[in-house]
Amino acid sequence: MPRPIIIDTDPGQDDAIAILLAFASPELQVLGLTTVAGNVPLWRTTENTLKLVELAGRREVPVFAGCPRPLLRDPVTAEHAHGETGLNGANLPDATTPTQSTHAVAWLIDTLTHASEPVTLCPLGPLTNIATALIQAPHIVSNIESIVAMAGAVRTHGNVTPAAEFNVFADPHAADVVFSAGCPLTLMPLDVTHRALITQERLEAFKSLPSPVSEACHGMLSFYFRPNTTRFATPGSPLHDPCVIAYLLEPEIFEGKSVNVQVETSSPLTLGMTLADWWGQSPPNAHVMQTLDADRFFALILERLATLDTG
């Protein structure tokens, strides 16, 4: 039977590839998509998610709008990386299905409360929705198979400040709630996602996909692609969020270690920093990925997207 998952998202070009990868994978059953403010404001992340459902021909998958701002701090967005719309570079079809009327947090609580089998949560953006659900209904932990999240920077520098990765920096208090909830937790920090680089050669491979989504994927990634010759000295852009879905499909692509990870929530200098206890002085709360086989990672994405039926 397919593994039931919920994708919590703030598209974002890399979110888009992750969502399409999930739709193209019969091993996964996407129960729904919940949206959160992050890369762009909530109304745009919701609109973008609906457009991706339309692009993939998966109109039966419901979309629920969630929290429009972080738990405590002021909102932070990332148009500098993703463009004004969050999905700059592609002319996506208008959605023909509406957003569900139920709030994302209420739907998460109801779905997890009544699930017949445990569900895997796949947060691709700030953890506001997940944390709010855990705060309001802590009993749902028993029906969470695992949380696999793109979050943090452990042995590398952050990408929004020297100390912090964007998703955690955007809502560090939510990340602290999720990291402390006691759920099985797997993190895809910058340490591993910065090894999943879109190079010029890999970008061209998206253009040649024998699939109706080829033009959209190539357009989005062409906008997102930029060799980083200053801050990180890399030959391309990291494809962060698809690491979450790829891990569910082929975990052997990745290598990591179980450690204790804590989030800085008070220091103005290091707000959102994720500190890992590599010495093992405290009980592990997360399996933190550190490396991946980039060639296998991109081969998996291209192989699956080539089969995506957008009928």
- Residue 63: inside a domain: yes
The pLDDT score that the predictor gives to residue 227 is 59
pTM: 0.97
- Residue 310: inside a domain: no
- Residue 48: inside a domain: yes
The pLDDT score that the predictor gives to residue 28 is 98
- Residue 167: inside a domain: yes
DSSP state of 251: G
Provide the 3-class DSSP secondary structure of residue 172.
helix
Catalytic-residue membership of 80: no
- Residue 311: inside a domain: no
The pLDDT score that the predictor gives to residue 229 is 52
- Residue 294: inside a domain: yes
Catalytic residue among 82, 173, 240, 287: 240
The pLDDT score that the predictor gives to residue 93 is 86
The pLDDT score that the predictor gives to residue 212 is 81
pLDDT of the chain, 311 residues: tens digit per residue: 999 999 999 999 999 999 999 999 999 999 999 999 999 999 999 999 999 999 999 999 999 999 999 999 999 999 999 999 999 999 998 999 999 999 999 999 999 999 999 999 999 999 999 999 999 999 999 999 999 999 999 998 999 999 999 999 999 999 999 999 999 999 999 999 999 999 989 999 999 888 889 999 999 999 988 755 556 677 788 999 999 999 999 999 999 999 999 999 999 999 999 999 999 999 999 999 999 999 999 999 999 999 997 76
- Residue 136: inside a domain: yes
The pLDDT score that the predictor gives to residue 101 is 98
Q: In total, how many domains does the chain have? A: 1
d(C-alpha 100, C-alpha 183), whole Å? 27
d(C-alpha 260, C-alpha 174), whole Å? 17
For 302, the token pair is: 């291209």
Q: At what angle do helices 42-56 and 13-23 cross, to 10 degrees?
A: 40
Provide the 10 A C-beta neighbour count for residue 233: 8
The pLDDT score that the predictor gives to residue 236 is 82
Looking at this protein, which amino acid is placed at residue 37?
Answer: A
Q: Which domain holds residue 76?
A: 3-305
Residue 18: give its domain's CATH number: 3.90.245.10
- Residue 244: inside a domain: yes
